[in-house]
Amino acid sequence: MPGGANICLQCEQRHLEALTALSTGRFTGQCSECGRTAEQIHSPTGEMAIHFENGRYRAMCMQCDRAYVPKRADLYRDTEFGWDQKLK
């Protein structure tokens, strides 16, 4: 990473999985919060949410995304997404 910052191998792998999902439109990795795969969450499309945090992309299942977004209102509050989610 720029500036000599370090990242654990698991976080780097999840970041790369999220980048692959963004470029291909299909997620085949694991949720960065709970670790479940698309097959485990019974999502035929592999639908996941992608978040950009601290210079890395994170993919989450929709269940973890629903819990994560309100906790990170500091990131999203003043965005169109935040307004749609009615974050305060």
- Position 23 scores a pLDDT of 92
Tokens of 20: 């692959």
Dihedral sign from CA coordinates of 42, 48, 54, 56: positive
CA separation for the pair 31, 53 (Å, rounded): 15
Looking at the DSSP bridge assignments, the partners of residue 61 are 48
| Position with higher pLDDT, 51 vs 4 | 51
Can you give the pTM of this predicted structure? 0.74
Tokens of 59: 């993919």
Per-residue pLDDT of 24-82, as tens digits, reads: 888 888 888 999 887 787 666 657 888 988 888 998 988 898 899 888 888 888 888 78
